[in-house]
Amino acid sequence: MNIYSIDVPIWATVYVKAESEEEAKAKMLAAAKDRSFEFDNDDDPDLPISGKQFDDPDLPEVSLSPAMTLADESELVKCEVSFVEEIEENTDE
């Protein structure tokens, strides 16, 4: 069995606490400066995923919604597929 990597476009929503649209955009751009994220158990990520309600006092200043959408099929079929590694299938049952 082989493992393959496929980079797919994902659309995500960022929620930002701000006084104006301009401030919101500036905060979002600052948090998303690297444009790539590793979602792990980091206690203080620059752009955390949060499903908290908008009135929750623990809602981060800037956060990604946990609901994300893949690009449509016409874009997905164009994605490059890269071989990662071959793995042995577990036959212990």
At 25, list the tokens: 């955009």
The DSSP H or E segment spanning 82 is strand 81-86
pLDDT at residue 61 above 80? yes
Mean per-residue pLDDT for 16-41? 85
pLDDT at residue 93 above 70? no
pTM to 2 decimal places:
0.70
Judge whether 48 and 63 are in contact, CB under 8 Å. Answer: yes
Q: Tell me how far apart the alpha carbons of residues 75 and 9 are, in angstroms, rounded to a whole number.
A: 8
Q: Give the pLDDT confidence score for residue 90 in this predicted structure.
A: 77
pLDDT tier at 35 (50, 70, 90 boundaries)? confident
Mean per-residue pLDDT for 30-40? 75
